[in-house]
Amino acid sequence: MLISLRCFFIFAIFFLLSFVFLFVFLIRFRNKNNNVLFGRAFSYISMKILRIKIEFRGKRRILRNRTAVFIANHQSFFDLIIFGAIVPKNTLIIGKKSLIWFPLFGWVFYLAGNLYLNRKNHQKAMGTMKTVDVALQEGSSLWIFPEGTRSHGRGLKSFKKGGFYAALQNQVPLQPLVVSTFKNALDFSKWSPGRVVVEVLDAIPTHGHGMDDISDIMDKAYNVMKNRIAFLDKELK
């Protein structure tokens, strides 16, 4: 019963905020800080409803005043609640093209200035990456989930190249962020479901590296993130 009530309230808040911000973002059309407004509001209300204890570590490491490509592990819908509290200003998000069909939020996502990636159409995907290059060159940062799809708590999946290509192409650092695995750590049938840890890791420089180094940099980012997630999961146990 408690799980059902919480899910109902979370989705109700999500759609209510999407409805409200639809009009706000029409006025602030594609403003670079729209993601911060929606993310902070949804994260704050959701954490109060869910009573999740979230510990943020390494916030001082986050590259707030520099252009960067932020890469984070992608587990479930709850990522929006967790990362909404920490997404930096002037940061755009790349999402799947199918998001545009998601009622209300798909439109809010577009009005917030974010970018859609059509992975099934190579030509359109490359067009999006050119838009990403322009955004980075104009000083916007980029937030991407390099796994491409949700892992549902089954461990860090292999990375796709898009975000790494953008970072190398524009010589901006990569900033990894990780969150501990929720799957077995949170029990929403309890009044206090549990605790998760979010950690900002050291930035990975790309300056001086070329496209020949993309595999090495991807492997470095993957191993750093995977090892840190394992460490956090072990700590929470």
CATH number, domain with residue 55:
3.40.1130.10
pLDDT reported for residue 123: 66
pTM attached to this predicted model: 0.92
**Number of compact structural domains in the chain:** 1
Q: Which segments of the chain does DSSP mark as H helices, in order?
A: 2-27, 34-50, 79-84, 105-111, 122-137, 162-170, 214-236
- The distance in angstroms from the start CA to the end CA of the chain is 26
The angle formed by the CA atoms of residues 83, 210 and 223, to the nearest 5 degrees, is 45
pLDDT digits (tens, 9 = 90+) for 88-105: 999 999 888 888 888 889
pLDDT reported for residue 192: 85
Residues of the chain with pLDDT under 50: none
pLDDT reported for residue 3: 77
d(CA 121, CA 126): 9
pLDDT reported for residue 121: 61
| Domain with 120 in it | 1-236
Question: Which tokens belong to 233?
Answer: 């999961």
Question: Which tokens belong to 160?
Answer: 């796709």
Does residue 42 come out as left (phi exceeding 0), alpha (psi in the -120 to 50 range) or beta? Answer: alpha
The count of C-alpha atoms lying within 13 angstroms of the C-alpha of 62, restricted to the half-sphere facing its C-beta, is: 23
53's CB contacts (< 8 A; 6+ apart) are: 192, 194, 195, 196
